[in-house]
Every structure is written in structure tokens, then in C-alpha cells.
Amino acid sequence: MTGYDWDFATVWQYRALLATAGLVTLQLIVLTMLVGISVGFLLALVRLAKRRIFSISAMWLVEFLRAVPPLVLLIWVYYCIPILLDVRLSGFQTGVLALGIYSAAFYAEIFRAGIQSIEKGQIEAGMAVGMTNGQIMRRIVVPVAFMRIFPPFISQGALVIKNTVLVSAIAVGELLYEGQRLSIHTFRPLEILTVIALIFIAIIMPLTLSANALESRIRSRYS
Amino acid sequence: MQSGGSETAAPPVLSVRNLRKTFGDLEVLKRASFDIYQKEVVGIIGASGSGKSTLLRCLNLLETPTDGTIDLQGERFGFRQRSEGEMTLLSASEIARQRAKTGMVFQSFNLWPHRSVLENVIEGLIIVKRIPRPEAQEIGVRLLEKVGLKDKIDSYPARLSGGQQQRVGIARALAMDPAILLLDEPTSALDPELVGEVLNVIGELAEEGMTMIIVTHEMRFAHEACDRVIFLHEGLIADDGPPSYIFGPCASERTQAFVARYVSRHAGDSMPRKSEIR
Ligand SMILES: Nc1ncnc2c1ncn2[C@@H]1O[C@H](COP(=O)(O)OP(=O)(O)OP(=O)(O)O)[C@@H](O)[C@H]1O
Ligand SMILES: [Mg+2]
């Protein structure tokens, strides 16, 4: 074996600090997803609007966002928004905003593909029994589209979760930021980063694995 | 055969006048006028592209007519008469409400894949008519029994044959208790051996007095089960009369030519006779 002496006891000492950081990460995840999914859904609807000005603007916004490295976007928002818009945002708020909008572009593309996959006939069947557009959207388009986009939707969720560590670059006390501080403080970067990696695995793997199971259930039942 | 309502004094269920539909420069329907009476079963035949689907889709406002009027049970469809005699399109929700008065059966079934057979049938009852679920389920089960699918109530559409899916489609349309049932080539997407089971159900509905318009390429069905047949040619009603006329020697030359082409091409079709439909 290598000569390195693993010492997880040090990490255990700082469990309270890591738990607090974990909570910040969790909040980041939830809020970023909320922003990403809701803005992404709206973007998808605008993207599919009949008026070309709308759909083309949405398309360009999506393409810009997809082409920017998320870390660059994050730092740009951190420094530019206060200057351009004269609002003060905390690092946490900046993170939710920048990463939320960033992921919204990807969610928008996923939702667009899902909505476009709905056969016209199924919408017309809804119209034929007298459903309104809103009812058709809620009762037919969204659930059927969701069934079909489930795998990329979950993959995007995993990406959102991982991308939350980027906000360590603007000093938000989430897992990676606190982990790095602890590493310097304790000279135990290997153990601490290992634990952080394990925490992320522990969050993401149950999500993706249960999604796989659900997907095969959907597949066997509905298609 | 039900007696065609045309001899009775009752007003028509559906009254269409000068119905026009254009897509850009293409005039697909050119001033179609006809009445459909209570309990009448009307077949629409015509070549591909003659405007049969467009006509049916105008009748339930899936397409907005370019010109002309549609009255269902005396109610002007899709438009409101303005004082100057001008027409304005009704709001989306009013159109949705009117649409529910017609039932539509689609060529490609169009069942909702995420809903079970029963849920497909009762969706409109619950969402549009706001009938309590237990009551809606009762109606749904009864209709599925009627189309011979009681044992498939909890299945999902993906597990059904085409013929079964179409029978669910018919039950779904019937659930809304429509004044008229519109069927657009209900058997064209089916394997030949499944056509019979669907036509049987339609034949039974005819027996029960359901008012129906059915676009079909099944000439024998049109002959046996319809009270009246409309022959559509390039967007015009070229002929309109009882099957004995349409399929007989007195029909217009064009109709006779069309029918002859069909009969020779589809010779050997195994269609149930009216007596077998029962
Ligand atoms: N939404 C649309 N936009 C443009 N043209 C259309 C549209 N719908 C139908 N058409 C055209 O209108 C004409 C009539 O179409 P329709 O579907 O009503 O014919 P049909 O008689 O039902 O034919 P088929 O037997 O093949 O079903 C065709 O030339 C078709 O291309
Ligand atoms: Mg057609």
C-alpha cells in the first residue's frame, strides 16, 4: 500500500461544520432547481410560441446560456449585476440566480423536446371532448411529455446538484468552500475531499438509481 | 334500418350552409350545404384529398371554417352574429364548450397513453363536465361494457390491439353524450382482421339511433349501414342520397366512376352485412 495514513477522525471532529455546509448545499440545490425548472418551462413555452419574435429571442437566450461556462456566468453575475442593476445580492442569491438561469437553458431544451414529442392527435382528442388549452396542457401535454423526458430531466438534476460547488468561487459556505477551508486548517485535504465526494454520491446516486427504476416501470406500463 | 329523419317534421340536428374552408390559396371545401337529422347515419365517401377530414374537422371546430354556418341543435357553432350581420369568432372557452356537444373518433385512435382505458373514457366527464368520479366511472364502465371491453378497464392503451383502442376511442366520444358522433375513417388504421369488431360497434350504435357522420373507404359498410351517403369531390358535395341511389345506376357519372374504381380495387373485402352487424 501507499504510505499515506488516512485519518478520518479529523473530519469527524468537524462534522457540525460540514453539516451546516451541507445544509447550505441542500438549499442551493432546491432553490436552483426551482428557478431552473420554472424559468426553463417558461422559456420552453416562449420558444414554442407562434410569434417568431418570441420564439427566436428565446432560442438565442437559450443558446447563449448553453455556450457560457457556468463558472464564468456565476462570477459575471456576481460582479456585474450590482453595477448594472444597482442591486445588492448575497453570494448565495447570486449562486441561485446564476446557476438557476444557467440550468434553465438546459431544462428549456428538455421541456421543448418533450412538448414537441406530443402527437397532435392527442391534443386534438382533448379538444374534441371540450378541454380548454390549459386543461390540455395540464392533463395531457405535461404528463405525457414528462414521461418521455424523464431520463434527461434526471440527468440535468444531477448536473444542477454538482454545479452548486461552483459557488465556492464566490465564498458561499457550501460543502466545497468549507471543505477547502478545513483542508487548509487541518492539512487533511484528501480525507475531507473524499468525504465531500461521498456526500455528493450519496445525494445523487439514490436519485438516478430510483429514476432508472421508475423509468423502466413507465416503459413497461405506458409504451 | 332506422327511418331517415328527413321525412319527419323535426328540425335537423346539424345544419350546414355554404361551408367553405381554405388553407392559404387552397380551397379545400367549396360551399358545402347539408342537413343531418336525428338518428341519421350519414357516410361520406370521396377520393383522398377531396376534403372529407377537413369537413368533419370543421363540424367540431378543430378547423375554423373560412365561411358559412354550422348550427348544431339550433346553436350557431363557432361564431356570434354581430348586429351588422358580421360574424365574430367565439372565445376559446366557448368553442371548447360547443365542441363537447359533438363526439369525434379519430383514424389513429389518439388515446392518451398515460391514462388507463377507463380513465381515457371518463377524463372528459371529470374534467369538462365535472361529474363526480364515482358517477363518471359508472358511466365509463357501462360504455366499455357496451363496446365489449369491460375486462380491459385497467389496461393501458399500449397493451391493446388497434381494434380495441378504437373501441375505447368510441366509448370516450360517447361518454360526453354528444348530439352527433363524427368518425373519420375509424377503421383505416386497422389490420383487416380487426375492422369487423369496430364496424360491429358502429353498426350497433346505428341501430340504437345514434346520429352519426362517418367518413369511410369501406364501401360495403357505407352501403349496408348508412341511411345516406355524401360523395365529396374536390371540396364539393357532388352527390347526396340514400345508398341505393349512390351505389346504383342513377348516381352521377362521377360517383359511379368513383364507386366502380373502389369496388374493383377492394373486391373481396370481407364486410359484415347489416344482418351480421346486429
Ligand atoms: N392544415 C392544413 N394545411 C394545409 N392544407 C391542408 C391542411 N389540412 C388539409 N389540407 C389539404 O386539404 C386537402 C383535403 O384534405 P383532407 O385531409 O380533408 O382530405 P381527405 O378527403 O380527408 O383525404 P384522405 O382520404 O386522404 O384522408 C388536401 O389537399 C390537404 O393537403
Ligand atoms: Mg382524411
Question: Using CB atoms, which residue from A127, A132, A222 is nearest to B156?
Answer: A222
Read off the pLDDT of residues B249-270 as tens digits, 9 standing for 90 and up: 888 888 888 888 877 666 544 4
Average pLDDT, chain A: 93
**Quick one: average pLDDT of B112-122?**
96
Residue B203 pLDDT: 93
B64 close to A (CB below 8 A):
no
**Range from A2-11, A93-102, A199-208 carrying the lowest mean pLDDT:** A2-11
Contact criterion met (CB below 8 Å) for A122 and B83: no
Per-residue pLDDT band for B276 (boundaries 50, 70, 90) equals very low
Tell me the pLDDT of chain B averaged across its residues. 89
CATH number, domain with residue A84 = 1.10.3720.10
Task: Indicate if the pLDDT at residue A3 is higher than 90.
Answer: no
A127 contacts on B by Cβ (under 8 Å): 62, 96, 99
Whether residue A20 is predicted with pLDDT greater than 50 in this model: the reply is: yes
As a whole number of angstroms, the distance between CA B134 and CA B263 comes to: 48
CA distance B180 to B35: 12
Q: Containing domain of residue A187, as a range?
A: 9-222
In a domain, A25, yes or no: yes
Q: Could you tell me the CA-to-CA distances from B145 to A84, A202, B182 in Å, in that order?
A: 67, 50, 21
CA distance A140 to A90: 40
Q: What is the mean pLDDT of residues A50-62?
A: 95
Residues ≥6 apart with Cβ < 8 Å to B208:
none
Expressed in angstroms, the distance from the first to the final Cα of chain A is: 51
Q: Assess whether pLDDT exceeds 60 at residue B204.
A: yes
- The answer as to whether A33 is a domain residue is yes
pLDDT for the residue B132: 96
Strand duo B87-89 + B14-23: pairing = unpaired
pLDDT in tens, B50-93: 999 999 999 999 999 999 999 999 899 988 877 776 778 898 98
Mean pLDDT of A4-31: 91
Tell me whether residue A1 is in a domain. no
Over the stretch B213-235, which tens digit does the pLDDT of each residue have? 999 998 888 998 899 999 999 99
What is the SS3 assignment for A129?
Answer: coil
Q: For residue A50, is it within any domain?
A: yes
Distance, CA of B155 to CA of A42 (rounded, Å): 34
Kindly state whether residue A80 falls inside one of the protein's structural domains: yes
Q: Is residue A2 part of a domain?
A: no
Report how far residue A107's alpha carbon sits from residue A37's, in angstroms, rounded to the nearest whole number: 6
A126-135, B20-29, B254-263: the lowest-pLDDT one:
B254-263
Question: Which of B60, B111, B158 is closest, CB to CB, to A128?
Answer: B60
Q: pLDDT value at position A1?
A: 59
Give the position, in ligand 1's atom list, of the atom nearest the Cα of B55.
Answer: 18
Q: Does the structure show a pLDDT above 70 at B2? A: no
Question: What share of chain A in percent tops pLDDT 70?
Answer: 99
| Nearest ligand (C-alpha, residue B183) | 2
pLDDT exceeds cutoff 50 at A152: yes
Dist CA B225 CA B1 (whole Å) = 8
Is there a contact between A127 and B62 if contact means CB atoms under 8 Å apart? Answer: yes
CB-defined site of ligand 1, < 6 Å:
B 23, 26, 28, 46, 48-54
Q: Give residue B170's pLDDT.
A: 97
The pLDDT assigned to B88 comes to: 86
The count of domains in chain A is 1
pLDDT of the residue at B265:
65
More confidently predicted of B250 and B102: B102
Is residue A4 assigned to a domain? no
Cell numbers standing for residue A107? 431544462
List the single range of A48-62, A161-175, B82-96, B261-275 with lowest mean pLDDT.
Answer: B261-275
Does residue A129 lie in a domain region?
yes
